Amino acid sequence: MSEAPSQVTPHAPVGGSEFDRDTMVRTREPGVHEAQLSPGWAIGKALNGGYLLAVLGRALRQALPHPDPFTITAHYLTATVAGPATVRTSVARAGRTVSTASAGLYQTDSRGTEVERIRVLATYGDLDALTDDVRTSAEPPAMPPREQCFRATDHPGGDAAVPEMGRRLDLRLDPETCGWALGAPSMRGEIRAWLELADGRDPDPLSVLMAVDALPPTGFDLGLTGWVPTVELTVHVRARPAPGPLRVAITTRNLAGGFLEEDAEVWDTADRLVAQSRQLARA
């Protein structure tokens, strides 16, 4: 063997990875799904909104006749914590090519009251049923190869500065868009990164829902510090991603009135634009 063991990439299969285990939902009865939210996807005290969207996305997949989220919108109502949660789904229409449903994620608070954490609206379809016709004017972001990008663990603060969720990911920031980590934000409102699950699981439409919300906030590149809570996040999944790491590019054009939008594009190894997302967040 010419390759040192440290260079062997682990490669958990889709369905058998940390991400799959932590987003698993059990359908108790039609429209009622139980989840066990993992503390492994926390950033600070809060669970990541993209991770939670993937949990909701999996419950909707079980509730609908189509497998893939074509367009899904989440409104984040109250902070979700690790532990048990219930997802209730309500189908609006099940059509031939697409189907639409709402869902709510609920947790029981310390007083025993059920509280809604997130409300979602989504239309599902089958990405494999789409035509191969691609007439896109979008180009993949110009980024250096993965080996020339910065891991979170390269941060001067070291491993302790990495949020818990960072340990689930192999996230490598484009050096051009992480000056903020050294106190020199570019003020362009851009963050770009290579992103893969730490256990090497290939991307799929559900992990893409997490990927669009996995990078540091663009606010950091605009000189903001601190928490940028998401009000609403919409993701369009446009193609089934090819195996291998994703490139995620996030931009903000409009920071005003205490709010900002974050637009994400997700590109796969085949240079296909597989997802577009936009979120409204509080600065």
In single-letter form, the type of residue at position 90 comes to S
Q: Residue for token digits 């979700």?
A: 80
Query: 127: helix, coil or strand?
Result: helix
Nearest approach in angstroms of CB 123 to a copy of itself is 5
**Residue 207 burial by Cβ neighbours in a 10 Å radius (0-12, 13-18, 19+):** buried
Nearest approach in angstroms of CB 98 to a copy of itself is 7
Nearest approach in angstroms of CB 246 to a copy of itself is 16
88 binds a copy of itself (CB under 8 A): no
Could you say which of 19, 70, 180, 194 contacts a copy of itself (CB under 8 A)?
70
Count of Cβ atoms closer than 10 Å to residue 270 Cβ = 12
Phi-psi category of residue 223: left, alpha or beta, with phi > 0 → left and psi -120 to 50 → alpha = left
Instruction: Decide whether 156 or 226 has the Cβ nearer to a copy of itself.
Output: 226
113 binds a copy of itself (CB under 8 A): no
With a CB cutoff of 8 Å and minimum separation 6, the contacts of 70 are 98, 122, 123, 124, 125, 127, 236, 237
Instruction: Decide whether 18 or 261 has the Cβ nearer to a copy of itself.
Output: 261
Going 173 to 179 to 185 to 187, the CA torsion angle's sign is negative
Nearest approach in angstroms of CB 59 to a copy of itself is 16
Q: What residues from 248 to 267 belong to the interface with a copy of itself (CB under 8 A)?
A: 252-259, 261
69 binds a copy of itself (CB under 8 A): no
What are the tokens at 160?
């302790």
Q: What residues from 133 to 152 belong to the interface with a copy of itself (CB under 8 A)?
A: 133-138
Could you say which of 29, 96, 110, 132 contacts a copy of itself (CB under 8 A)?
132
207 binds a copy of itself (CB under 8 A): no
- Measure the CA–CA gap between 261 and 240, rounded to whole angstroms: 25
- Measure the CA–CA gap between 257 and 122, rounded to whole angstroms: 28
**Residue 125 burial by Cβ neighbours in a 10 Å radius (0-12, 13-18, 19+):** buried
Count of Cβ atoms closer than 10 Å to residue 247 Cβ = 22
What are the tokens at 55?
């949990």
175-204 mask for a copy of itself (x: CB under 8 A)? -------------xx---------------
220-239 mask for a copy of itself (x: CB under 8 A)? --x--------xx-x-x-xx
Instruction: Decide whether 20 or 204 has the Cβ nearer to a copy of itself.
Output: 204
- Measure the CA–CA gap between 20 and 23, rounded to whole angstroms: 5
Choices 29-37, 70-78, 160-168, 208-216 (CB under 8 A): range interacting with a copy of itself? 70-78
159 binds a copy of itself (CB under 8 A): no
Chain contacts with a copy of itself (rule: CB under 8 A): 70-71, 73, 75, 77-78, 92-93, 98, 100, 102, 104, 116, 119-123, 127, 130-138, 188-189, 222, 231-232, 234, 236, 238-239, 252-259, 261, 272-273, 276, 278, 280
